[in-house]
A and B are shown apart, each in its own frame.
Chain A
Amino acid sequence: MKRGLTVYAVFAYAFLHVPLLILAVFSFNSSRFAVWQGFSLQWYRAVADDANLIESSMNSLIIAIVATGVATIIGTLAAYGLWKKGSAWLSGSLYLSLVTPEIVTGASLLALFQWIFRFAHLRLGMHTVILAHVGFSLAYVVVVVLARLRSYDRTLEEAALDLGATEFGAFWRVTLPYLVPAIAAAAMLAFTVSIDDYVITSLVAGVDSQTLPMVIYAMARRGVNPALNAVSTLVVFGLGMLIILSERLRRT
């Protein structure tokens, strides 16, 4: 049974990883068809020359960084607050936001924005996208940080208070240092869900806030385009580096 499991695992891991590997290999193919003809960097050159791709990547980065920063900070505070004393309706709405299908989140946010725009002179754009991203990544941050707080010894906070720290001092000097690894993990998670989101973003983005997933999606729908393999490889590689880097930081 043990050997059978191992053989099975090899296939399972192949299933998980080979598709992306093939994509990466063919991003270096000199042909535009799915037959290997020789090594070439032409598709990467095509990516570098594509102003649309570059601009949308920048948009995606800005959105992801801002949304991650905001969501991580306020989500951490909320996790701490909920750990001190639960709040049924806040936990409930965070839970709801986790389980709401993306398409519903996006559509309902769009409905809200359109309704607000009736009264205010505003339009869809980076701000609406960032607000939406903070909204849907918050719950992830809270879940990750709260999980770490569950194993936190409450007497450490009591000890800090006992030694003269105020409530905030106890949080800042004792609890926060304990939470750092979880906060880093939460930020990573928020960043990846933000930079990858297509469904919600496509609904609440304006003309000036095209994101990379939106461009990738449009390219994918249009059909064969090896440049898309190159973009995909770059994105996967970039995210992979980020994960390895954050793992390294966490270990030290």
Chain B
Amino acid sequence: MPPETLLSLCRLSKDFATQRAVSDVSLEIPRGAFFSLLGPSGCGKTTILRMIAGFETPTTGEVWLNGQRIDLLPPYQRNVNTVFQSYALFPHLTVQGNIEFGLRHKKVSDDINRVREVLKQVRLEAKASRKPSELSGGERQRVALARAIVLQPDVLLLDEPLSALDPQLRKQVRGELRDLQRRVGVTFLFVTHDQEEALSMSDQIAVMNAGALEQVGSPRDIYCRPRTRFVADFLGAMNWIDGIGVRPEAVNITSQGRKAIVTGVTYLGSFCHIAMKLVEGEETIAAQAPPGSTFENGQTVCVTWDPEDEIRV
């Protein structure tokens, strides 16, 4: 039995004054999933999020949540919450005040215990009475999360929540976020332009380009069986040879196969990136070699790959 659909977007479009930001997007997001919207900046993914949250009204199309049409409701009547890119923490309230903010409107019992529990989940019990300005970037991000999940929304919308963190922290937070989602069981709709983030965290990914949906599928599907050239390129580096795609890590440099001349060797720590030019044909090709490889510019080598790894779009 397929998982139950929680949130569905039906032929959603949004026009701004000069351009079409979102164009005819239909999407079904299953309950309990970690679902990512992936695409370059300006592709309309944030606009979709804002239409779900209620900050933008769709030009055409509908948004359904739990069998109820919500696209005409004001933001405060939708059981979805957002973690903003800038976190948008209220500067005049403490951590605790920020987390309690929405509870007043939700009329839930046992408020105090719930706030305490959420504070514990995000490891901020000790900082409950601090102001946002006294917190580190990572802590702020956790307050933004706590503030939203304490309301137990049907869907949590996350708008590039890691982009304000420094790169080291970003990788660590990925795992934490994934764990938190599993623990609390809330459906996450995660917007990002970082394919590594999307691949490492999501159950399902929808790739967008120029306002339209390109492909929806599991991370493995999207990476290994991209349906469009855009998806293939966006998810990672790609060699295109005679219209067939091969990822650099699938290319082997051996003693037999197609001849190529090495044009560049870049040492990247855990591997060497080898740039080559095919002898027959115009195409360039890139491969990953062990860090100890001793290729030199101008050297002629042979490249092969497993037909299994070929990508046809």
Contact = CB atoms under 8 A, between A and B. Distances in A.
Interface stretch (A7-15, A152-160, A233-241): A152-160
B230 interface: no
B241 interface: no
Interface stretch (A84-92, A112-120, A169-177, A193-201): A169-177
B75 A178 contact: no
A178 B54 CA distance: 24
Interface in A162-205: 162-167, 169, 173-174, 177-178
Contact of A156 (B53, B82, B88): B88
Contacts of A163: 76, 81, 101-102, 105, 147-148, 151
Given A169-B105, A173-B101, A161 B74 contact: yes
Contacts of A156: 88, 90-91
B86 A155 contact: yes
B267 interface: no
B105 A159 contact: no
Given A169-B105, A173-B101, A162 B81 contact: yes
Contact of A159 (B80, B88, B92, B151): B88
Contacts of A158: 53, 55, 75, 82, 84, 88
A164 B102 contact: yes
Contacts of A161: 54-55, 74-76
B130 interface: no
A169 B75 CA distance: 12
A238 B51 CA distance: 54
If over half of B's interface residues share one DSSP class (helix, strand or loop), that class is named, otherwise mixed; here it is: loop
B80 to A, nearest CB: 8
B182 interface: no
Contacts of B88: 153, 155-156, 158-159
B90 A159 contact: yes
Nearest to A162: B82
B258 interface: no
Given A164-B76, A169-B105, A174 B90 contact: yes
B106 interface: yes
Place the interface of chain B in its size category: 20 to 34
Place the interface of chain A in its size category: 10 to 19
Interface in B80-107: 80-82, 84, 86, 88-92, 101-102, 104-106
Nearest to B97: A173
Interface string B146-170: 0110010000000000000000000
Interface string B67-80: 00000001110001
B274 to A, nearest CB: 45
Contacts of B81: 162-163
Contacts of B84: 155, 158-159
A153 B88 CA distance: 8
A252 to B, nearest CB: 14
Contacts of B105: 163-165, 169
Contacts of B75: 158, 161-162
Contacts of B92: 174, 177-178
Nearest to A155: B88
A163 B101 CA distance: 7
A174 B80 CA distance: 20
A143 to B, nearest CB: 23
A179 to B, nearest CB: 10
Given A164-B102, A164-B151, A178-B92, A159 B82 contact: yes
Contacts of B104: 164
Nearest to A156: B88
Nearest to A170: B76
A178 B89 CA distance: 12
A173 B100 CA distance: 12
Contact of B76 (A155, A166, A174, A177): A166
Contacts of B76: 161-166, 169
Nearest to A180: B92
B154 to A, nearest CB: 13
A155 B159 CA distance: 12
A158 B105 CA distance: 15
Nearest to B91: A178
A163 B74 CA distance: 12
A160 B91 contact: no
Nearest to B106: A164
Given A153-B86, A159-B82, A163-B76, 5 more contacts: A158-B84, A158-B88, A161-B54, A165-B105, A169-B76
17 contacts: A153-B88, A155-B84, A158-B53, A158-B82, A161-B55, A161-B74, A161-B75, A162-B53, A162-B54, A162-B75, A163-B81, A163-B101, A163-B102, A164-B104, A166-B74, A169-B105, A174-B92
Interface of B: 53-55, 74-76, 80-82, 84, 86, 88-92, 101-102, 104-106, 147-148, 151
Interface of A: 153, 155-156, 158-167, 169, 173-174, 177-178
